[in-house]
Structure 1
Amino acid sequence: MTVIVRDLRPDVRADAEGFSTTRRLALPYMLSTPESVVHTLTHAHPDAHFTQLVAEQDGEIIGTAQVSVAHESTEPGQGSANIYVRPDRRHRGAGSLLLRTAEERLAALGVTKLFAWVLDEPENRAFAERHGFRASRSAYFLRLDLTSGTLPPRQDPPPGVELRTAADFAADPRPLFELDAEVVSDEPSDIDVEFTDYEAWLDENWRHPLLNRDLTVVAVVRGRPAAFSVAHTDGTRYGTAMTGTAREFRGRGLAKLAKNDSLHRARAAGYTEAFTGNDTGNEPMIAINKWFGYEVGATEVRYVRALG
């Protein structure tokens, strides 16, 4: 009955399946498959020192942790450890053991500030606070029922704007990398991020197994990608991984246009529910998602503590 913590073995199918199942049970608003678990681990940038830990009891994976150094941040010494335990396997010490292991790994890498996302539930928040974390920003998980008929009608793009899919950029996705880099740098976050490595972006994002290029919609102005809505799918569910607009083109409704078209494509493809997430302070995007009909399903709080 002893709980042990070890590294996930990417070449063992049962490990990836156990990791993915635990994540879906603990956090049903985020997409996860065995393939995406392995891809994330094996294609992470070396400077991230990315690790996936599992808590195992009697051969069953009951908890997971994703641990990394924020290598894309402009501020050194930052890292993250996001820990999830199966709801039906709590109170066995898995969460504490995963956190202790993650802290030891990150401290050895020079991390001095540790961030962790925690579901906004009394038991989860109490766990974080017992371990010395303090609450920071928060974010919503939102869900949209694509079968309800509340999705706004499809809209024609304004003159000079063309809607394409990511599949149209298969021969040269660099323009999407440049758009993604600009959008990510302006996202509300405790950790500033800069995308500068195109090859790493290709490995980690463009070739990600959850990316659905046919459902990812790009608003193009004069040949330049101006806004996009990135779609992830796991075979049965649809999730928005990113929606944003280049600074030059903001205020024209292009992100809303792209996301609406993507959602219509998803519904036509047979997807029945859509998920997305928003920082609670991102009022413009929250308003857009409410216009689509999304409803808040849960809230997650970002916690932080000093290490070492």
Structure 2
Amino acid sequence: MAPDCEVDGGVSAPVAIDDLRGRLTHDAPLAKLVWFKSGGRADWLFEPEDLDDLRVFLERLGGKLPVMALGLGSNLIVRDGGVPGVVIKLGKPFAKIETRDDHVVACGAGAHGILVASTARDAGIAGLEFMRGIPGTVGGFVRMNGGAYGREVSDVLIECDVILPGGNLVTLPKADLQYTYRHSALPDGAVVVAARFQGEPGDPEAIGAKMDEIAEARENSQPLRTKTGGSTFKNPPGRKAWELVDAAGCRGLQMGGAQVSEKHTNFLINVDDATSADIEGLGEEVKRRVYEHSGVELEWEIQRVGRP
């Protein structure tokens, strides 16, 4: 067993681990890894040392167990019963960012949106400022067509590198992802490991000013320093989810330790040691009240994973 590989005593690993260089943990707590600070454990948590380590692990796993990639955990409810199979946590080895010719920004899937935008700014590359306003990492942005302040990943993605269940590393052009609003056609169990974004020439000072505007807008309108999960519901066509929630009288509504934010009604917050059942239940109650009030069926934007 590699010295960095951790497996609790008496538990058989799901794959041969003698030459894996990453960290494999059984029954791993996930609450500390997600913004809501709630939820159960992963059957297995694998933190690969690098791309080859991840590829070998997934090849050996051979699709025998479900696989879920985890970034910052910023738009995620991990249910209290935990997550079956394997959670893949991509760390620093997957967080590199570099600028290339023709105003291309190449990123690892673990790169934070704010650092992608900042790197582009410093290189005089415009068009990626919106990533300053998305809490999360590139892998999640690519999978969910992340967006904010009038732009989304489908506007700038060239291609992404993905390891498919079974361990095959493939490069997928944007067209293959069949993007729609906050959705892609990436199959379950596929792990995004890198992406290339197309920017355009710009003035670093102007780019920085736009990023500052985005940061200020977030600060003024969103409950940033709370245990939250970002935007809860997708905006229905031609409508704003927060307006529908507010009109249905849900501002400040509480269930257990979970509450609809007073500051931004499309945010749920953990105010008093909420369980994930509290948070998800509150979201479902908000959906019910909105439908009863306006006839609009809200759709979850936050991803909900695991066993109830």
Q: TM-score, normalization: structure 2?
A: 0.26
Q: Highest relative contact order (Cα 8 Å, sep 6+), 1 or 2?
A: 1
Q: TM-score, normalization: structure 1?
A: 0.26
Structure with the largest fraction of strand: 1
